[in-house]
Amino acid sequence: MNSTLVFAQLLNGLQYGVLLFLLAAGLTLVFGIMSFVNLAHGSLYMMGAYFAATAFQYTGSFGLAVLAAMLGSLLLGLALEFVAVARLYRRDHLDHVLATFGLVLFFNELVRIIWGAQPVFLQVPEFLGGAIDIGGFSYPAYRFAIIVVGLVVAIGSWLLINKTRVGMLIRAGAVNPAMVAALGVNIRLLNAMLFAVGAMLAGLAGAMAGPILSVQSGMGESVLITTLVVIVIGGIGSVTGAFYAALIVGIVDTMGRVFLPFLLRQVTERSFADAAGPALASMLVYLLMAVVLAWRPQGLFPANR
Amino acid sequence: MTPLISRPSAWVPLLALLLLATVPFVAQATDQQFYVAFFARIIIYAIAACALNIALGYGGLVSFGHSLFLGLGGYAVGLASFYGVGNGWVHLALTLGVCGLVALVTGAISLRTTGIAFIMITLAFAQMGYFLFVSLKHYGGDDGMPIAQTSRFGPLDLSSATNVYVVAFVVLVLSIWWLARLRVAPFGMVIRGAKQNARRVNAAGIPVLRYQLLAYVMSGMLCGVAGLLLANLNAFASPSTLAWAVSGELIVIVVIGGLGTVFGPLMGALVFLGLEEILKGFTDHWMVIFGPLIVIVALLGKRGIIGLLQRFDSRGKLPAKITTTTTTTAAAVAATGVATGVAKGAL
């Protein structure tokens, strides 16, 4: 174990965390502001990845692929909001879980019909194919690009929510939608836009993740559940919380998987460590969440209300 | 009390139970053993849904992690059998003990939260279980583990589908009977009251949290029994039983059947698994049809099949009206009537 390895894994964790943030930002707003449990968010991520893969296949341009993913999932989000989600805002969480669970089943199968059961491949674009040198240490440029994109989105969404009029309305709508509506704001439209923007970010995450993961049916589910963990740890409805929690979860998960079996081997018998290490590593973020919730049920950085 | 014949919401499920009782005989006569295993699966899912109904339907605790208990029940058999223990009573004791303990610990943590956070944290615990068994390569990992020694209860060995069927059927009937009693018992009144208005029940001096935790534990233990039966039916314990989709399916079954009703879980399991089988006959991509159907059920509201049947119950009385009044007063009844029961040491 040397410092280069630690540093590389730290960056990997950061990259994973940033990817989680792209998903968590949209989900936490829908969660926190409309109080809507959207299990289909992972499906939007998956659809984004497929849109990107298809666009890349036809155009050969990664930029267009990302654009297609964002636009496609934005429109899909709008359609979903219009057909099903908007009717469910006022209902209780059980109905949300039920409806979006149905949507997950639907999209997983739809993808299998359209693109087949085999994974689809999305290549790393040529101009990001190399490695970047950071003080004598090289790191894949594409993963670095993911980190940059995630940070740009983080800053952008912070500015949008805290510094713009729309952001003010979003925050106000979270506290008292009836009052905001009474002031002449189309809260219905605002909600739809918010949902669609969340969907767009999920699509972006899917497109960015496409080249480093395999694009296949069901790819959204594991990442969705990790995203839910991020949101609960960060505090529901808090974008800032989602950002910090995403980084924490990303780094804890990545470092845990690499170093936990190794550390266990130092303190326990090898056979036990080899069995328990990976098990403990894959449970680590869920353990983290349970501990955080037991300690602070509101999450680490609850939204200011 | 209206006569049974004028209450389809009661006699339809009873008829379904009666028909289920004849399945092994019919299958034997027509030599279609496949159906025994198929209906055994339905019955086992109905038991699991009954279990979930205690927490979800009665208590309003939206647990998205009941696959955890289903899986634990399965692995109680799988792991015991791995070490050469085939005694069914040991399997059962292990299932009840482990599920009870896990439900107690996870429930105590989960119940610190409400709403979305409760849904999420129960989901997280189930995921922990899922990843635990996936990474235990020694016990099959994500391939699961075959069960060499199915549960033997004295002379009764759960090695054949028919034997599992009979036992599962008896467990189901007992569960339904128990749930019917529990629903109107002081305990049921308290958790149903807490679903309506926990603060009010609390104000009456009833420690709501303790009741909810107990409901969660009972729910988990019964679900574990369903897992034990499922593992015996398949002679296989698999981490896929713990997958989050299974928790989702159980919720769908309860809601389709009729949330908080006595016969809802049975009707839900029949319709859910039956529909699944029928759609599979038409197309491999049956989920494309099934998914939107679930969305429609959610959009339509959640009276479920039992709610639908209640509409046909004898006219004269207004069944819908009556059910709403009984439920809205549940909090009040719990607050007043049960307080005395608690004082006498019901819990």
What is the count of residue pairs from A and B with beta carbons less than 8 Å apart? Answer: 138
* Nearest in space to A26 (alpha carbons), one of A284, A203, A282: A203
| pLDDT tens profile A164-188 | 998 888 888 878 888 888 988 888 8
The shortest CB-CB distance from A31 to any of B116, B137, B290 is to B116
The shortest CB-CB distance from B109 to any of A96, A221, A290 is to A290
DSSP letter, residue A271? H
Cβ–Cβ gap A275/B137 under 8 Å = yes
Give bridge partners of residue A120 from the DSSP assignment: A215
Cβ–Cβ gap A106/B244 under 8 Å = no
How far, in Å, CA of B165 to CA of A232, rounded? Answer: 41
Give the nearest chain A residue to B62 (CA atoms). A94
ipTM for this prediction:
0.84
Cβ–Cβ gap A98/B251 under 8 Å = yes
Residue with token string 């979800």: B56
Q: Could you say which residues from 41 to 60 on chain B have a Cβ atom under 8 Å away from some Cβ of chain A?
A: 56
How far, in Å, CA of A260 to CA of A227, rounded? Answer: 22
What pTM does this model have? Answer: 0.87
Please report, for residues A67, A102, B130, B237, B305, the alpha-carbon distance to residue B72 in angstroms, rounded to integers and kept in the order given: 45, 26, 10, 9, 30
Q: Both tokens of residue A98?
A: 């039920």
* Interface test with chain B among A81, A97, A112, A115, by most B beta carbons within 10 Å: A97
Give the nearest chain B residue to A34 (CA atoms). B116
Asked whether the beta carbons of B231 and B64 are under 8 A apart, the reply is: no
How far, in Å, CA of B254 to CA of B267, rounded? Answer: 9
Q: How many C-beta atoms lie closer than 10 Å to residue B338's C-beta?
A: 24
Cβ–Cβ gap A94/B251 under 8 Å = yes
Please report, for residues A51, A108, B31, B65, B285, the alpha-carbon distance to residue A111 in angstroms, rounded to integers and kept in the order given: 11, 5, 39, 26, 10
In SS3 terms, chain B reads as CCCHHHCHHHHHHHHHHHHHHHHHHHHHHHCCCHHHHHHHHHHHHHHHHHHHHHHHHHCCCCCCCCHHHHHHHHHHHHHHHHCCCCEHHHHHHHHHHHHHHHHHHHHHHHCCCCHHHHHHHHHHHHHHHHHHHHHCHHHCHHHCEECCCCCEECCEECCCHHHHHHHHHHHHHHHHHHHHHHHHCHHHHHHHHHHHHHHHHHHCCCCHHHHHHHHHHHHHHHHHHHHHHHHHHHCEECHHHHCHHHHHHHHHHHHHHCCCCCCHHHHHHHHHHHHHHHHHHHCCCCHHHHHHHHHHHHHHCCCHHHHHHHHCCCCCCCHHHHHHHHHHCHHHHHHHHHHHHHHCCCC
Q: Both tokens of residue B29?
A: 């006569």
| pLDDT tens profile B229-280 | 999 999 889 999 999 889 999 999 999 898 889 999 999 999 999 999 899 8
* Nearest in space to A139 (alpha carbons), one of A252, A147, A205: A147
pLDDT tens across the length of chain B (347 residues): 566 777 877 888 888 888 888 888 888 888 888 888 899 999 999 999 999 999 998 988 999 999 999 999 999 999 998 998 888 899 999 999 999 999 999 999 888 888 778 888 898 899 889 988 988 888 888 888 998 888 888 888 888 888 899 999 999 999 999 999 998 898 988 889 888 888 888 888 888 899 999 999 999 999 999 999 999 999 889 999 999 889 999 999 999 898 889 999 999 999 999 999 899 888 888 888 889 988 988 888 768 888 888 888 766 455 444 444 444 445 555 555 444 444 444 33
CB contacts of A236 in chain B (<8 Å) are: 116-117
The predicted pLDDT at position A90 comes to 81
* Interface test with chain A among B52, B295, B300, B302, by most A beta carbons within 10 Å: B295
Give the nearest chain B residue to A271 (CA atoms). B138
* Interface test with chain A among B128, B272, B280, by most A beta carbons within 10 Å: B128
* A192 Cα distance to chain centroid: 19
